[in-house]
Structure 1
Amino acid sequence: MSTIVRSRPAGIASVWPALRRLADFRPEMTVERLALIAAGFFTLFCNGAFFRAVSGTGALHGHWSTAVSLVAMVGSLNVLLLCLLLNRWTAKPLLIALLLVTSVAAHFMSQYTVYLDADMIRNILHTDGKESGELVSAGMLPSLLTLGVLPSLMVWRVRLRHRAMGRAVMVRGAWVLLAVMVASGAALGSFQNLSALMRNHRELRHLVTPGNYLVSLGRVLADDQAGKHRPRTPLGINAHIAGRPMEARPRLLVLVVGETVRAQNWGLNGYARQTTPELSRLAPINFTQVSSCGSATEVSVPCMFSPWGRAHYDKDRVKHSESLLHVLEHAGIHTLWRDNQTGCKGVCDGLAFESFEHASVPKVCDAEGCMDEVMLQGLAGAVDRRNGDVVVVLHQLGNHGPAYYKRYPTHLRRFTPVCETSELGDCSQQQIVNAYDNAVLHTDEFLASTIRMLAAQTDRDTALIYLSDHGESLGENGLYLHGVPYAIAPETQTRVPMVMWLSSGFAASRGIDMQCMKREAQAPASQDNLFHSVLGLMQVSTPEYDGQRDLFRACSSAAG
């Protein structure tokens, strides 16, 4: 009987040994050498946004030595960071985690010019699953695979060489010292140019990854731990209503906290498109020059409800103090926060709070969330259950990006074509603006509906104040979304719309001249004015009230 010999095709036979050798490839190296290779990888392949931003300042123009020094300095600092973080037991899992996170960070920094400072990290930590899901797209896959998954697989194949403890400590110390010396030498080599660069563009340090998010995360965790059991400082505990007759009708004030609407696209401000047709018919008081306290919700919302504002902003003090709503409660005014977002950022701690984030109301909600109209459901009943004056806050989902196309119902799809993806880099700027403007139309419709509901009230004097938390970049100068450090944030992120409406009964009871208010609304204002304007409007007397920042005072004849 003959033996049949099956042979592999010549092509496969030649490739097979190479594949076997690749599968068996498991290099052996020390932790320090692995740190050096990883630091080089991070520096050269994950810091594109940083080097592009530096180049954009003009600091490298004609200065090749400065470019070399900068690369050497960033590389050696990455070596230093990894030598301090990695050890024989944690090197591989920790480095894999860093690679995966850094690949995602590099994607967002390159696509949206995101600066990963402490405020941005705090925003990320407070983002819920629904919002995070909108940021995940197919556009992330190339970065995740090439900068995260593939390098992680290579790291997993590495065999780490063991050393005796004493020798390991000595070698690691030598590497740390060498990294410090190289970083210092690189900095001194182009000291004049690099010192000027970092002095004039301090925000650039928030683009150097992975150090940017690691340092910022450390700061956030340290702040949270320090204030974990720290009680809030009472504010306005002796507040009371003054100058108001006992027989006066109760008042209802609705504060609408907008999300990501910028002044430049607000129809009432003279925008080329009419994005506020409903409000235009109602002719409210529109403030045309309003600046925000921050460029992100985590800063702006607590700040606007504090007495200090941007002028005297101190994150720690604001975070651990009571807010405007607590002062109103101390004065005997009921408050209620209704939320279609990710919470009140501490502003309403200990007070009445209702979340509609996961509500299921027909026509206004679906599996992905609810339109802002959901917050008007049952509002009249909630107010009626509270005697006396009431202040209600409605926290919108508004224009929250990058999925602007999800922020409005079909009948408001007026500006086309629209960007129908969260990967804004795949759309033209006009498509992005079209989707964004449609979402502004929805805020206009929501505000008009709220005002009409308030105007129909027969047993209360009513008023509404709308103020967006911050603006948004829509691709101007390569910037998208928001959260750029305030010192360098463009006006598209820091100029916001503000609208006020008062019923005739409310205006009369407070002696407010509405024509005077419309003239005053042309002057510059800011979120700093909200705290004091609400107290003045509701006639709350407290030492925290500053009449100079009350927007109603100049046009009011009643005591406040």
Structure 2
Amino acid sequence: MIVVVAAYFVLATNSAFWSGMRAAGTLSESDAWVVVLCAALAIFALHALLLVVLIPRAVAKPALTLLLLAAAGVSYFSKKYSVYIDPSMIRNVLRTDTTEAGELLTLDLGVSLLLFGALPSLLVWLVRIHVRPLRMALMRRLLFAFSMIVLTAASLFVAFDDLSPLMRNHPSLRYMIAPGNVLVATTKVLAERARAPEGPRQVVGADARLQGHTASTKPHFLVIVVGETARAQNWGLNGYGRQTTPQLARLDVVNYKDVSACGSNTEVSVPCMFSSTGRRRYDQQLISNSDSLLHVLERAAVRTLWRDNQTGCKGVCDGLPFQSYRKPPKNPMCNDEACRDAVMLQGLHDAIDDNPGDVVVVLHQIGNHGPSYYKRYGDEFRRFLPDCREADLKRCSREQIVNAYDNAILATDDFLAKAIRMLAQDASHDTALIYLSDHGESLGENNIYLHGFPYAIAPDTQIKVPMVAWLSPGMIASTGIDMRCVRARADQPASHDNLFHSVLGLMQVTTAVYEPALDLFGSCATPRPQVSVGLPAGQGNDLNAPEPDGEPL
């Protein structure tokens, strides 16, 4: 049964891999049939080896059923959107929620799961497995495993001169071999979790203190907007052929044109951008088990609040005030599935009014989350037509997909403009706003859609993201920042690594983990008197307020 299932995987669920080989030019060679045969035999033998080692007879049928369904699903998404399966993608799958997953459940996916997953599984359940004595069963299994190792080695040896440069020059192919990619990636993720250290978070910035505040200084109020799936290439302020940011263009914002994300998906990028290590010293386990920027701010008596219209803060705000709109409240900005991002602005100032000190609020957008881009904006933003009104992007032309995506950016532009106007009217605080997207998106370039490519091979469309900063006159004056200098700095490359240190500098928090070279504002600020403010832990307003009631500001 394992032999038949492994052969089925090669023939039926790896069309994306074979298409990738064809695109790489391998099949145009005179000896292409030898390369294809050897690759097929190697894939067959490796899957058979994995199955015979990992699956005992007692659970063979349910385990093979799960693998057949997984292979059918992976094959569908690989062909449809050029999705690659690596540990990062598996983490995304494990962290997704029903609303997010529901947008991917299309009729075509159901048909694919039925034909290539459910029907073969039915045949598996019709097979009668003979029970043999334990010693004989073990010997047969060991002999079979050894023969598969030999077959793999022999196949790779015969076609080594062709397969070696192919896999080296096109590393994405290794993530297309299903369901081996699922087995390997899932095993790595489970191993990571098993090795994850237990106990409290690693303390970061234990010496964090407010510095530079005086009795006459207004408290600071910073809003950090974490965008979702907005890419730099379609950002109007970056010189895109369409003006997708008309309102921001009329405001006095600083636009950063060359910004690199920490990852190609939310699961990596959000924890990374709020960490002290960032991409330059990336360690997934260390980041997940360490204090984030928000924990450091709280330690310095800067109160924080995370408002979420997405799938959570990914550990960044653990133990800190958090409000979610994922379960839509009764509000005209919400339907049964989700809310528009603007709902996060309602009642925002009420949540911080009673706090006597500095405040940092994070607004986590649904933004341009795909594939249902059309759900991210109302009719007032349907400027670029015709727009794709489908979750199945392959049913739309590329022009329709781009139109829907650009309309969603118009909605983000409106959301940011409203937030800035709200902050500009605040007479009780010196205010500022920083916006940056978590990652970008592929819109059909080279037949690639969505995001989540392994970082080493991810296209710029998934890595380059927009970033904008706005500072009120009061914030500029209180921090001594020269905005001409800031605008000149904005022409240089930046990344998610800058957020942690730029926020500490802007909020005038001193700590040994602060790196001035990564502060986008630090080199443009006038040194101020060294006045430290250390409030006892817990002093200030409790931002762990109940869910907002949806009333206007």
What interval of TM-score do these two structures reach, taking the shorter chain for normalisation? Answer: over 0.9
Query: Which digits, 9 at most, give the CA deviation of each residue in 1:214-273, with x for residues without a partner?
Result: 111121122223326242110001111122323311010000000000000001111111
**Counterpart of 1:343?**
312
Query: CA contact under 8 A between 1:361 and 1:374: conserved in structure 2?
Result: no
Query: CA contact under 8 A between 2:294 and 2:316: conserved in structure 1?
Result: yes
Query: Which digits, 9 at most, give the CA deviation of each residue in 1:281-303, with x for residues without a partner?
Result: 11311111111111111111111
1:220 aligns with 2:189: yes
**Counterpart of 1:130?**
99
For the residues of structure 2 that align with 1:373 and 1:333, how far apart are their CA atoms? 25
For the residues of structure 2 that align with 1:118 and 1:55, how far apart are their CA atoms? 26
Aligned residue type for 2:429: R
1:496 aligns with 2:465: yes
**Counterpart of 1:386?**
355
Q: Please, what TM-score do these two structures have when normalized by structure 1? A: 0.92
1:332 aligns with 2:332: no
- Quick one: structure 1 residues 122 and 435, their matched pair in 2 at CA, closer, same or farther if it must change by over 3 Å? same
For the residues of structure 2 that align with 1:296 and 1:319, how far apart are their CA atoms? 15
1:447 aligns with 2:416: yes
SS in structure 1 of the partner of residue 436 of structure 2: strand
Higher RCO (Cα < 8 Å, 6 or more apart): 2
Distance apart, 1:163 and its partner CA: 1.4
1:81 aligns with 2:50: yes
Distance apart, 1:210 and its partner CA: 0.8
**Counterpart of 2:17?**
50
Query: CA contact under 8 A between 2:516 and 2:523: conserved in structure 1?
Result: no
Distance apart, 1:322 and its partner CA: 0.5
Distance apart, 1:157 and its partner CA: 1.2
**Counterpart of 2:475?**
506
Aligned residue type for 2:173: L
**Counterpart of 1:401?**
370
**Counterpart of 2:333?**
364
For the residues of structure 1 that align with 2:311 and 2:382, how far apart are their CA atoms? 26
**Counterpart of 1:323?**
292
Aligned residue type for 2:216: E
SS in structure 2 of the partner of residue 523 of structure 1: coil
Query: Which digits, 9 at most, give the CA deviation of each residue in 1:305-342, with x for residues without a partner?
Result: 11222111111111111111111111111111111111
User: Which ranges in structure 2 are unaligned for 5 or more consecutive residues?
Assistant: 531-553
Aligned residue type for 2:262: C
**Counterpart of 1:310?**
279
Select which of 353, 356, 375 maps to 2:322: 353
RMSD over equivalenced CA pairs, Å: 1.3
SS in structure 1 of the partner of residue 328 of structure 2: coil
1:61 aligns with 2:22: no
SS in structure 1 of the partner of residue 454 of structure 2: coil
Query: Which digits, 9 at most, give the CA deviation of each residue in 1:96-118, with x for residues without a partner?
Result: 12111211111011101111100
Superposed, 1:26-37 pairs within 5 Å as 34-37=1-4
For the residues of structure 1 that align with 2:217 and 2:437, how far apart are their CA atoms? 31
**Counterpart of 1:22?**
none
Select which of 395, 402, 412 maps to 1:426: 395
**Counterpart of 1:482?**
451
Query: Which digits, 9 at most, give the CA deviation of each residue in 1:5-61, with x for residues without a partner?
Result: xxxxxxxxxxxxxxxxxxxxxxxxxxxxx0000000001110111122233223443
SS in structure 2 of the partner of residue 370 of structure 1: coil
For the residues of structure 1 that align with 2:228 and 2:137, how far apart are their CA atoms? 53
1:101 aligns with 2:70: yes
The structure with the largest alpha-carbon Rg is 1
Q: Please, what TM-score do these two structures have when normalized by structure 2? A: 0.93
Query: CA contact under 8 A between 1:338 and 1:392: conserved in structure 2?
Result: yes
**Counterpart of 2:544?**
none
Aligned residue type for 2:435: Y
For the residues of structure 2 that align with 1:554 and 1:228, how far apart are their CA atoms? 37
For the residues of structure 2 that align with 1:351 and 1:362, how far apart are their CA atoms? 25
Number of positions where the alignment pairs a residue of Structure 1 with one of Structure 2:
527
1:272 aligns with 2:234: no
Query: Which digits, 9 at most, give the CA deviation of each residue in 1:348-375, with x for residues without a partner?
Result: 1111111111132321111011111111
Aligned residue type for 1:304: M
Aligned residue type for 1:206: Y
User: Which ranges in structure 1 are unaligned for 5 or more consecutive residues?
Assistant: 1-33
For the residues of structure 2 that align with 1:360 and 1:241, how far apart are their CA atoms? 36
